[in-house]
Amino acid sequence: MKLGLEAYKSRFSFRSPQTVVLVFFLGLFVITNLPASDWVSNITGHYLPIHVLLEFMGILVSFAVFTVGWATYQNVRSTDILVLSICCFIVGWLDLGHTLSFTGMPDFVTPSGPDKAICFWLSSRVTSAVGFLFVAISNPRESKIHAVRTPLMIFAVLWTALWYYLILFEPERLPRMFIPGQGLTPLKVFLEWSTVMISLVAGALFFRRGVRRDVLSFHWMGCACLLFAMSGFFFTMYRDFDDLYNFSGHVYKAVAFLFVYRAVFVECISTPYLEARRLAVEASQASISKSRFLANVSHEFRTPLGVISGFSDLLLQSKSLDGENRQWAETISRNSAQLRVLIDDLLDLAKAENERVSIELSDFSAVEVVEDVINSLKLQAERKGVKLIFHSEILRAHAIRSDRVRFRQVLLNVVGNALKFTSKGEVRVTMSRPGGDVIQVEIQDSGIGISAQEAERLFRPFAQADDPSKRRFGGTGLGLALSKKLSLLLGGDLVLMWSEPGQGSLFRLTVLDQKNVSVKERREVSSTPALKGGVDLTGVQILAAEDSHDNQSLLALYLKPTNATLTFANNGAEAVKTAQRGHFDLILMDIQMPEMDGFEAVQKLRQENWKGPILALTAHAHQPERERALQGGFDGYLVKPLSREMLWGALKNALNESGRLPKS
């Protein structure tokens, strides 16, 4: 009951179409109880411009309805709007003929007069009433038939031209509609009443459809039909062209056309806009949820992955490991590294789609980066018997300004992809500077190639060549999609220049040398070069807040060669208490811990004036977490899994910057 009352209030609110119709309906009773000579009578000199103004208002609205309905036909739900807009197109032209033929207007082709004007008028009224009734009766057709647009438009032009021809050039074929001194003929009154009845039926059907389907445009159309019926009622009562009833009928008709426009506007513009806005909000919320999901999944994956990678690397460094045991350890290490690359690609792709990838500029040698990529893939190429060739037209000492990490990431993906799909022949990498500030790298291979159909979806996420190649070569199809997005963020692009099945492919990577862009400060300790030879940290006291016992064991093994003294805390609260009791030179702090997380622990330590360096050692690799940590009191950010060499380098830099590194 309460729900029904709320629906009733919404339909009859101050701005609802039903309220406006109710006001005009009450006005109908007031006007019909006034003498026809009152208010408007005997103002012939002023009635003509008023009539022209009201008619042109209806004409303009009719053409506006046609324009909106015709232009937005692709966006609406059914063909009803097309029929309605074509109907308004005809009505607009017929009303224009009526206005130009009205008594007192200059001759329009033939002498203007009451019969001529009324014939145009009635042809317009009958067309609109029948058209609205057709739309009200017909069921909405969800599948729009575009082929009907041209036949309907041809019909509209021919129908309009027929009436213009009959009224202008064959008036004797048409019956009398008005007799001076006597008023309207019975035929004219009959036709007006016919349009009134048709409009009432159409209005009732529109209201019925609106209630059943709760489509607001049907309510507006129903109210428009009721107003047309009221205007037709006035047009059955007037005796002179300048009396109150004729004037009131024109006012009601103009308002009715505004309702029709409102209905079309709601259906064609307002509803699609609100729907698009709703979908945009949902997409934004889904994107945020996806980012949070990826961040959480990344953390959960990286924590055990760091342990697997760390212990497998330690196994490989053991001299007692040989034979099959070493092969098994290498397999574990290789696959864990591959899994880490996959996780990084997923995160980077999600960030690139949301345009949240941080581009950090620095000066570096592009040739050295390409050579580094070539060297990292050379062993894989030798195993396959594929030649990996690099030629550069740029000097090795020439520096460019871009993001070194992202540039290397794109090259590694594209060159590695070319090598993966090449079983014989060569992969040739050519670097040049075609002009301006653009660096160009072409990667040509003699591999399986790509068909034109496959090339269309090549840069889409999770897309690969075809099913046989997917089964044969494996992979997720993320590499090229991510590389495309990263190359665009670097001011260039990645495009497939040509490819032939069985002949190979040629990719072109372009990167902008951003010399005129200021370099962004880089605080991340994770960018510290690895120390291959180790570091002596004798006498250094390190506190590690880590809730995973496996990670504690791994950290202990990593730091054992440095001779540093390592103390563990199982959560943030314990880390704060331990730091207060002892003297530590550096703290390694996990972020996601029970009882008290890393952010809260760092905040408490900084409030208690703990001045030493605090490095985040976490499995969260999302950029927002990184920025939040650096702004919340951390001095560096290390992402698991982390090699011991990278950890040594980070510790040395942090202790050196804080003045706590022991002098050797």
208 has pLDDT over 70 = yes
Give the percent of the chain with pLDDT over 90.
Answer: 14
Give the percent of the chain with pLDDT over 70.
Answer: 78
**Position 526 confidence tier, pLDDT thresholds 50, 70, 90:** very low
**Position 291 confidence tier, pLDDT thresholds 50, 70, 90:** low
Please report the domains of the chain, with CATH numbers, ordered by start residue: 44-273 (1.20.1070), 362-512 (3.30.565.10), 525-658 (3.40.50.2300)
294 has pLDDT over 90 = no
Question: pLDDT tens, 529-575?
Answer: 555 567 888 889 999 999 888 888 888 888 888 889 999 999 999 99
pLDDT at 5: 37
pLDDT at 42: 52
Q: Which of 395, 396, 400 is nearest to 364 (CA)?
A: 400
State the residue for tokens 């999944």. 297
* Residue 407 to residue 397: CA distance in whole angstroms: 17
pLDDT at 355: 52
Q: How many CB atoms lie within 10 A of CB 91?
A: 26
pLDDT at 516: 55
pLDDT at 621: 66
**Of 174-188, 241-255, 396-410, highest mean pLDDT:** 396-410
Q: Which of 495, 491, 488, 415 is nearest to 456 (CA)?
A: 495
Q: How many CB atoms lie within 10 A of CB 332?
A: 17
CB 569 within 8 A of CB 611: no
List all residues 6 or more positions away from 216 whose beta carbon is below 8 Å from its beta carbon: 210, 266, 271
What is the reported pTM? 0.49
List all residues 6 or more positions away from 77 whose beta carbon is below 8 Å from its beta carbon: 140, 142, 267
CB 231 within 8 A of CB 28: no
Question: pLDDT tens, 310-343?
Answer: 787 777 777 777 777 777 777 777 777 767 766 7
**Of 208-217, 265-274, 518-527, highest mean pLDDT:** 265-274
What does the CA dihedral 79, 82, 88, 90 come to, rounded to 10 degrees? -110
* Residue 605 to residue 576: CA distance in whole angstroms: 6
The residue ranking higher by pLDDT, 182 or 208, is: 208
Question: pLDDT tens, 610-638?
Answer: 888 999 988 776 666 777 888 888 988 88
Helix (H, G, I), strand (E, B) or coil at 635: coil
pLDDT at 574: 92
Q: What is the mean pLDDT of residues 80-87?
A: 83
13 has pLDDT over 50 = no
Residue 188 burial (10 A CB sphere; 0-12, 13-18, 19+): buried
**Position 166 confidence tier, pLDDT thresholds 50, 70, 90:** very high
pLDDT at 593: 86
CB 188 within 8 A of CB 235: no
List all residues 6 or more positions away from 69 whose beta carbon is below 8 Å from its beta carbon: 76, 81, 82, 84, 85, 88, 264, 268
The residue ranking higher by pLDDT, 438 or 348, is: 438
If phi > 0 it is left, if psi is from -120 to 50 it is alpha, else beta; for residue 443 that is: beta
**Of 71-85, 333-347, 401-415, 564-578, highest mean pLDDT:** 564-578
* Residue 447 to residue 522: CA distance in whole angstroms: 40
Q: How many CB atoms lie within 10 A of CB 355?
A: 9
Question: pLDDT tens, 445-503?
Answer: 998 888 777 776 677 655 544 444 444 444 555 668 778 888 888 888 888 888 888 88
Question: pLDDT tens, 349-382?
Answer: 665 555 556 677 888 888 999 988 888 888 888 8
**Position 216 confidence tier, pLDDT thresholds 50, 70, 90:** low
Per-residue burial over 431-454, b = 16 or more CB atoms within 10 Å of its CB, e = otherwise: bebeeeeebbbbbbbbbbbbeeeb
Residue 41 burial (10 A CB sphere; 0-12, 13-18, 19+): middle
pLDDT at 103: 81
Continuous segment of H or E residues that includes residue 429: strand 426-435
**Position 221 confidence tier, pLDDT thresholds 50, 70, 90:** confident
* Residue 628 to residue 591: CA distance in whole angstroms: 11
Residues in the chain: 664
Q: Which of 361, 371, 483 is nearest to 429 (CA)?
A: 371
